[in-house]
Structure 1
Amino acid sequence: MIRFIQPEQTLPLRSLVLRSGLSEDQCIFDHDLLPTTFHMGYFDDSDRLVCVLTCMKENHGKLPKAGYRLRGMATHPDHLRRGYAGDLLRAAELHLKTQLQVDYLWFNARSVAFPFYEKLGFEFMSDEFDIPGIGPHKEMFKLL
């Protein structure tokens, strides 16, 4: 089941999956508490939160109109390749398009996730670059 969640609910998965076990207080994003930011989670049949994402209002200079940025998308390692992340991302896209009238979603994608995002219709808009301590990324986007 997909639900909107509170920012603090994203932190355990952000820490585990995206920040190599860094303390949860170091996994908070500047925009987490802004009223324009929302967080969504996928709960399994046992009501465990197994996948999270955050969307924050942030335009990208290469793209026109109103945009949002995806941050902190993470799936628990025990729940990979079950379709949860794709379902969660499609739910966020639907909310952005129908409820918030957003024109596009963009983000910095880790190289290991390129095929996942490409399957969901996202396109590259930068060359590969390194985020120190995290690894290689490319900017990606999708018009909604």
Structure 2
Amino acid sequence: MIRFITAEQTLPLRSEVLQNGIDYTKCLFDHDLYPTTFHMGYFEEDKLVCILTCMQENHGKLPKSAYRLRGMATAPEGRRKGYAAQLLLAAMEHLRSQLHIDYLWFNARTIAFPFYEALGFEYMSDEFDIPGIGPHREMFKML
């Protein structure tokens, strides 16, 4: 089941999957509490197994109304079940139909390139390194 969640609910998965298990209270992004930011989660029964955050932020290469995807993570036991794709598609539908946003963009980790490509996202940068995290590329999709 997909539903909107709080920023605090995202923290344990962000810590486990994206931040090598650091104290989850240090995984809060500055934009997490902005009124235009939203968080969604996929629940397997009552357990939160996949999360994402979308924040209002335009990208300089595409001068239109945009949101940025941040902190998408899936627990190991929730992988390869289609949860992440369902969650991202639900977020894009919300952006398109409720917020009337033109595109979604983000920095994708190299390991996730095939996942995002399969959902129709395109590259808009060469590969670059985020210190302490690894190689990424900017990706986007018009909504």
Place the TM-score, normalised by the shorter chain, in its bin.
over 0.9
Q: Which residue of 2 aligns with 1:28?
A: 28
Report the 3-state secondary structure (helix = DSSP H, G, I; strand = E; otherwise coil) of the residue aligned with 2:63.
coil
| TM-score of the aligned structures, taking structure 1 as reference length | 0.98
Distance 1:26 1:47 in 2: 25
Distance 1:84 1:51 in 2: 7
Report the count of equivalent residues. Answer: 143
Q: Which residue of 1 aligns with 2:124?
A: 125
The Cα of 1:41 is off from its aligned counterpart by: 0.1
The Cα of 1:26 is off from its aligned counterpart by: 1.3
The Cα of 1:25 is off from its aligned counterpart by: 1.6
Letter in 2 for 1:135: G
Letter in 1 for 2:15: S
Distance 1:98 1:79 in 2: 27
Give CA-to-partner distance per residue, 1:64-116, whole Å, 9 cap, x none: 21000000000001110100000000000000000000000000000000000
Distance 1:61 1:12 in 2: 32
Report the 3-state secondary structure (helix = DSSP H, G, I; strand = E; otherwise coil) of the residue aligned with 2:41.
strand
Distance 1:79 1:67 in 2: 29
Runs of 5+ consecutive residues of structure 1 not aligned to the other structure: none
| Percentage of identical aligned residues | 73
Distance 1:78 1:47 in 2: 14
Letter in 2 for 1:96: L
